[in-house]
A and B are shown apart, each in its own frame.
Chain A
């Protein structure tokens, strides 16, 4: 291949995890920002906001459908490289099917749905914080964020709470364990167990419909004469379970860590709703929990002048696009009042823009504010912070331990949260 600049970029490597922003800036500064990596079947890399945003929304030229067949045919490879073991929906589909599923998911994902769920989510957070509030010690990951986010998704779906320890552990671990690392096979087996639960639940609800909750909507919904199969409903629920946890948890943890180093912002974030809302978009931009996913070109096209051929993959490098100086002035500066429309791509773009974004913002706000209110003097133990060693998709934290002046319980049932924390630990 002589028509392309190649770069040794493997998004599963520790080197990438340690330096991806630097790599993006070097590409940007080189005058030839679009480069080809030979890893994992080969893919294009571009750090530009305009390119990434276009790839994400140009369904005429790119797809993230998952249609790989055993005979090697089919263009779509889903959103992971190498492709993931199961098709998750609607993220690994193409419109109009994507839009059909999004329509079926319905009002639970609207701002009103998120608001309705907020009191219940607050109870979950209270339960988690009560379990540690008298001790003066907390791991914001395993005692709080890794649990509540997964528990919330389970309740929205209607999965039994007694399985929370397994789901929280698997959802967290499958975000950072790469093939070959200790615990990876166990995490994959855990995904299998969760999928069995979900298949059982969907099959049961197909026979005995409930009262119009999410699963019922997905099973019986009819949009333009099309219904989802049971397998497709399972695909949607798996994507909610695996996509709704570590993303929001990571945003929360990275923000709490930042507020350890910048405590002067704590008081205003706790009291000023509009300021918190604007700041949330900036935290989303700078921490970009989901660093990258992939699409494939369905026709020959070009990116910033670089020809891209049909069948070639392109990395949608959200984290790099979110620090493009052409769009964000002083992109490395965290400005909580960044006023220009904050066009970050942390929830994606186009037909696949994150359906759960309103729930994510509500969960993030509830967790951060409850921590600031109940543990106002918390101090992170930086020597014990443990970051994911690789960035499969999420750049998150395994552990974020802190100390604080002990406080009092405010209610809740500590047993379930403690059991889940023990499982994640």
Chain B
């Protein structure tokens, strides 16, 4: 399965990714980002959209 990585030192919890790829990225009860490093191949469109929309460009797609 493909992988994604978020630099949580850079992340500012804008949550743009959460709505672009809701099954991969989510906000916890403290409004901080959590995510699954592995995702299904058919979610690539969503994960790419999440990476594109990140205001601080903290999301990297890895294969």
Interface residues of A (CB under 8 A from B): 53, 57, 99, 102-103, 105-107, 109-112, 115, 341, 343, 347, 349-351, 353, 355, 357-358
Contacts and interface: CB of A to CB of B under 8 A. Distances in A.
A353 B16 contact: yes
Given A103-B55, A107-B14, A351-B52, 15 more contacts: A53-B49, A57-B48, A57-B52, A99-B55, A99-B57, A103-B56, A105-B55, A111-B27, A112-B31, A341-B22, A341-B23, A341-B46, A351-B53, A353-B52, A357-B16
A112 B12 CA distance: 10
Contacts of B14: 107, 109-110
Interface residues of B, number: 22
Contacts of A53: 45, 49
B19 A350 contact: no
A110 B46 contact: no
B45 A110 contact: no
A225 B13 CA distance: 23
Contact of B52 (A103, A341, A347, A350): A350
14 contacts: A102-B55, A106-B12, A107-B13, A109-B14, A110-B12, A110-B31, A111-B13, A112-B13, A112-B31, A341-B21, A343-B46, A349-B52, A350-B49, A357-B19
Contacts of B57: 99, 103
B15 A110 contact: yes
Contact of A355 (B23, B49, B55, B56): B55
Interface in B8-46: 12-16, 18-23, 27, 31, 45-46
Contacts of B19: 347, 357
Contacts of A57: 48-49, 52
Contacts of B52: 57, 349-351, 353
Nearest to B19: A357
